[in-house]
């Protein structure tokens, strides 16, 4: 059988996508970042010292984006690591079954997803959107936790258990927030223009205040929905209206 005709048809049917991105190299960058952040627990290839790891990260981002992007990202790493440390502490302090920070980092998928989010978010802020998504989707595939890199998340963030958590692009989460498996911070629906095309760039996902706990399988929707400070959101609740501060919510009417 000759394949020339089939190959010609395939070539004509392909979408034209021009990119210099090397997905595997970008995933290696994320793995190098894990190692740079916690060198005694994560290992990346033959690179062991900090200089080699930073140079690898810089060179890979330079090749896949730009020298300016690579420099700005590397310069931001010293600010990101202390933020990640607060997340590790939040997981440790929130679960009496944990015996050490080492256990958090080795055994808890929530912190693996959060670390990836912290670095991906910085890339998102630097407008390297596709590289940011590659990193966050890698963590999603490994943990079952889907945090869009555009989301804004404060210090001491904890995801417990984690499977099925979804946090959308325009979600905003305060400090000392703890969420459990199956929680969705999502959108009600998508706005369209007069031509039926999706409108982008507006706030679609909810905001969550400080010191909030959201239990398993709660669904919170809408860009104008705000969960006030100190709230406790019960399992399996469906919320699409704002909740006043310091409320315990079992159903929507509890917090209005």
Query: Do the domains at 19-145 and 151-256 have one common CATH topology?
Result: no
d(CA 113, CA 120) in angstroms, rounded, equals 10
CA distances in angstroms from 99 to 91, 106, 108, 249, listed in the order given: 11, 12, 12, 31
Q: Is the pLDDT of residue 255 over 80?
A: no
Pick the CATH number of 151-256 from 2.160.10.10, 3.90.1300.10, 3.50.50.60, 3.30.565.10: 2.160.10.10
In the predicted structure, residue 40 carries a pLDDT above the cut 90: no
Q: How many CB atoms lie within 10 A of CB 208?
A: 26
Residue 18 has pLDDT above 80, yes or no: no
Residues in the chain: 256
CB distance 181 to 161 below 8 Å: yes
Question: Which class does domain 19-145 fall in?
Answer: mainly alpha
Where exactly are the structural domains of the chain? 19-145, 151-256
What pLDDT is recorded for position 162? 92
Task: For the full predicted model, state whether its pTM sits above 0.85.
Answer: yes
For residue 12, the model assigns a pLDDT of 82
Q: How does pLDDT run across 61-120, given as a tens digit for each residue?
A: 999 999 999 999 999 999 999 999 999 999 999 999 999 999 999 999 999 999 999 999
């Amino acid at each position: 059988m000759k394949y020339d005709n089939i190959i010609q048809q395939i070539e004509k049917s392909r979408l034209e996508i021009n990119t210099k991105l090397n997905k595997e190299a970008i995933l290696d960058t994320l793995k190098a970042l894990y190692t740079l952040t916690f060198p005694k627990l994560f290992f990346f290839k033959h690179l062991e010292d900090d200089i080699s790891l930073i140079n690898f990260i810089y060179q890979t981002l330079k090749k896949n984006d730009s020298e300016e992007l690579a420099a700005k990202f590397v310069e931001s790493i010293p600010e990101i690591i202390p933020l990640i440390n607060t997340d590790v502490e939040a997981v440790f302090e929130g679960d009496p079954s944990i015996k050490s920070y080492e256990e958090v980092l080795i055994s808890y998928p929530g912190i693996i997803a959060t670390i990836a989010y912290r670095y991906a978010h910085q890339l998102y802020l630097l407008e390297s959107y596709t590289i940011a998504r590659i990193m966050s989707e890698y963590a999603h595939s490994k943990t079952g936790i889907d945090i869009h890199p555009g989301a804004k998340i404060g210090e001491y963030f904890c995801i417990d258990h984690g499977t099925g958590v979804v946090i959308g692009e325009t979600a905003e989460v305060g400090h000392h927030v703890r969420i459990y498996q199956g929680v969705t911070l999502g959108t009600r629906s998508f706005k369209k223009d007069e031509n039926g095309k999706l409108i982008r760039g507006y706030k679609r996902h909810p905001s969550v205040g400080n010191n909030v706990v959201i239990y398993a399988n709660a669904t919170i929707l809408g860009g104008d929905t705000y969960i006030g400070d100190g709230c406790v959101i019960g399992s399996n609740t469906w919320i699409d209206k704002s909740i006043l501060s310091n409320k315990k919510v079992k159903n929507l009417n509890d917090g209005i």
